[in-house]
Structure 1
Amino acid sequence: MAKSRFEYVRTYEQDAILLPNTYIVIRLDGRGFHRFSTHYNFRKPNDKRALCLMNAAAKQVMRHIPDVAGAYGQSDEYSFVLSRECTMFDRREAKLVSTFASTFTAQYQFLWPEYFPDTPLDGNMLPSFDGRAVLYPSLREVRDYFSWRQADCHINNLYNTSFWTLVLTGGSSEHDAEQALMGTNSGEKNELLFSRFGINYNNEEIMYRKGTMLIRDVGAGGSASASETTESKDVGEKSKRQVEREKNKRRKAEIVELHVDVIGDEFWTDAGRWIS
Structure 2
Amino acid sequence: MANSEYEYVRHFEQWDPSPPSNWIVVRIDGRGFTKLCKKYDFAKPNDRRAIDLMNAAAVEVVRSFVDIVLAYGQSDEYSFIFHESTTLFERRAAKLATSVATAFTAEYCMQWSTFFPDLPLERPWPTFDGRCVCYPKRKILRDYLCWRQADCHINNLYNTTFWNMVMKGGMSATDAEQALKGTLSADKHEILFSKFGINYNNEPQVYRKGTVVFRSYDTAVQTNDVGHDDLAEKQANTHSKTQLQKELKRKQKAIIATGHIDIIGNAFWDDHPYILTGKRGEDFGE
**TM-score, normalization by structure 2:** 0.89
Compute the displacement of 1:235 (Å): 7.9
RMSD, aligned CA:
1.9
Aligned to 2:41: 41
- Identity of matched residues, %: 51
Aligned to 1:219: 218
1:257 equivalent in alignment to 2:253: no
CA distance in 2, matches of 1:221, 1:15: 42
Aligned to 2:94: 94
Task: Supply the AA of the counterpart residue of 1:186.
Answer: S
Tell me the SS of whatever aligns to 2:219.
coil
CA distance in 2, matches of 1:110, 1:215: 22
CA distance in 2, matches of 1:174, 1:92: 44
Compute the displacement of 1:236 (Å): 5.7
CA distance in 1, matches of 2:172, 2:80: 38
Compute the displacement of 1:181 (Å): 0.5
Compute the displacement of 1:142 (Å): 1.6
CA distance in 1, matches of 2:138, 2:174: 43
Tell me the SS of whatever aligns to 1:170.
coil
CA distance in 2, matches of 1:250, 1:235: 13
Tell me the SS of whatever aligns to 1:15.
coil
Residues 248 and 10 of structure 1, relative CA distance in 2, 3 Å threshold:
same
Kindly report which structure 2 residues correspond to 1:173-212, keeping only aligned pairs within 5 A, or say none. Answer: 173-212=172-211
Compute the displacement of 1:104 (Å): 0.3
Aligned to 1:268: 269
Compute the displacement of 1:245 (Å): 3.2
Cα pair 1:223 1:274 within 8 Å, conserved:
no
Kindly report which structure 2 residues correspond to 1:50-199, keeping only aligned pairs within 5 A, or say none. Answer: 50-123=50-123, 125-199=124-198
CA distance in 2, matches of 1:192, 1:264: 28
Aligned to 1:6: 6
CA distance in 2, matches of 1:113, 1:91: 34
Compute the displacement of 1:274 (Å): 2.5
Task: Supply the AA of the counterpart residue of 2:139.
Answer: R
Compute the displacement of 1:272 (Å): 2.2
The CA deviation string for residues 123-146 of structure 1, in whole angstroms up to 9 with x for no partner, is 1x2110011111112221121111
The CA deviation string for residues 28-78 of structure 1, in whole angstroms up to 9 with x for no partner, is 011111111111111100000000000000001011111111100000000
CA distance in 2, matches of 1:224, 1:184: 48
Cα pair 1:40 1:119 within 8 Å, conserved:
yes
| Structure 1 portions without partners, runs of 5+ | none
1:248 equivalent in alignment to 2:249: yes
1:237 equivalent in alignment to 2:237: no
| Structure 2 portions without partners, runs of 5+ | 278-286
Compute the displacement of 1:107 (Å): 0.5
Task: Supply the AA of the counterpart residue of 2:168.
Answer: T
Give the total of aligned pairs: 270
